[in-house]
C-alpha cells in the first residue's frame, strides 16, 4: 500500500509543471486524483492518461481558481464524483513581473486573485467537508519569494506571503478537527522558465544554492506527498523551504 491509498486529492493548476508532478506522485502513492486547470486541453488530457496508468481514479476539471463561483461548483462536483475530499493542494498560480514603477494595477490584481484568492476559494469550499469528516490535509504552494521578497515581483511576493499567513490561520482553526495545513516554499526549480535562462543567469542562481543544483519538480512532489500522508499528522502551520539551502 502507498502512503495515500484510498485518499482523494484535489490539486489545482495540475495539467503541467509542479502540479502535474505532485498529481503523479500522489497517484503513485495510491491516491485518487481530481485536478483542475483553466482549460483541460491536450496537456490536461495527457496528464489524465498518465495518472490513470497508476490504476487510480482520475478526472481533470476546467475551472478558474480565481472565481469563487467556479470553485464552489467544481468542489461540489468533485465531492459527488469521488465521494470524499481528503487532500487539497493549492498549486495554481501565475506571475506578472515588473518593478513597482512599471507595474499595472491589473497585473497586481490578477496575480493576487489567482494565487491568493484562488487558494482562499478552494480552502473555503473544502473546509466544511474536511471538518465534518474530521480529517484533511491542506497544502499551499508558497515560495521563498514570499519569505524574502524579490525586486520586480511585488505582486507575486505579496501573494505568496499571504499564503503563509492563510496557512497558519487555517492550521489554528482546524487543528482540533484532524485537519492539518502547511505551506511549501520552493526555491529555484527546474522548469521551462529556468531552461530558457542563459548559462550566466543560471550560474548566478547556483551561487546562492548550497547544494549547487536547481531543484527538480520531484523534490516538491516528494515533500507534498509526505505532508499529505498520515506520517505528517503532527505537522501543521509550517512553511517547508525546499530550496537547496538558499537561506543558509
Q: CA 102: distance to chain centroid?
A: 28
> Could you tell me the three cell numbers for 25?
506522485
Q: Determine which one of 54, 61, 135, 156 is catalytic.
A: 156
> Could you tell me the three cell numbers for 202?
543560471
DSSP states along 142-183:
--HHHHH--TTBHHHHHHHHHHHHHHHHHHHHHGGGTEEEEE
| Rounded Cα–Cα distance for residues 244 and 216 (Å) | 10
SS3 at position 179 = strand
Neighbours of 15 (CB within 10 A): 24
| Rounded Cα–Cα distance for residues 26 and 3 (Å) | 8
Cα angle, residue 138 at apex, residues 137 and 139 outer, rounded to 5°: 115
C-alpha separations of 241 from 18, 75, 111, 183, 245 in Å: 15, 28, 22, 9, 9
| Residue whose C-alpha cell is 506571503 | 161
| Rounded Cα–Cα distance for residues 79 and 85 (Å) | 6
SS3 at position 25 = helix
> Could you tell me the three cell numbers for 147?
519569505
- Annotated catalytic, 127? no
The residues assigned a catalytic role are 156
Amino acid at each position: 500500500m502507498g502512503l495515500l491509498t484510498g485518499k482523494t486529492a484535489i490539486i489545482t493548476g495540475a495539467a503541467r509543471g509542479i502540479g502535474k508532478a505532485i498529481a503523479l506522485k500522489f497517484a503513485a502513492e495510491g491516491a485518487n486524483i481530481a485536478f483542475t486547470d483553466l482549460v483541460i486541453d491536450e496537456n490536461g488530457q495527457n496528464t489524465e492518461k498518465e495518472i490513470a496508468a497508476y490504476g487510480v481514479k482520475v478526472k481533470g476539471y476546467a475551472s478558474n481558481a480565481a472565481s469563487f463561483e467556479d470553485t464552489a461548483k467544481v468542489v461540489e462536483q468533485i465531492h459527488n464524483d469521488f465521494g470524499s475530499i481528503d487532500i487539497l493542494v493549492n498549486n495554481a498560480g501565475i506571475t506578472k513581473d515588473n518593478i513597482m514603477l512599471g507595474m499595472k494595477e491589473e497585473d497586481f490584481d490578477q496575480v493576487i486573485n489567482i494565487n491568493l484568492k484562488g487558494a482562499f476559494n478552494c480552502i473555503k469550499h473544502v473546509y466544511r467537508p474536511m471538518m465534518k469528516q474530521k480529517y484533511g490535509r491542506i497544502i499551499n504552494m508558497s515560495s521563498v519569494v514570499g519569505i524574502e521578497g524579490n525586486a520586480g515581483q511585488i505582486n507575486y511576493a505579496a501573494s505568496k506571503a499571504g499564503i503563509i499567513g492563510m496557512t497558519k490561520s487555517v492550521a489554528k482553526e482546524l487543528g482540533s478537527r484532524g485537519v492539518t495545513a502547511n505551506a511549501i516554499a520552493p526555491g529555484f526549480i527546474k522548469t521551462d522558465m529556468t531552461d530558457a535562462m542563459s548559462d550566466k543567469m543560471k550560474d548566478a542562481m547556483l551561487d546562492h544554492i548550497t547544494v549547487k543544483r536547481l531543484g527538480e519538480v520531484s523534490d516538491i512532489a516528494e515533500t507534498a506527498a509526505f505532508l499529505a500522508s498520515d506520517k505528517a499528522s503532527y505537522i501543521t502551520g509550517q512553511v517547508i523551504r525546499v530550496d537547496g539551502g538558499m537561506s543558509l
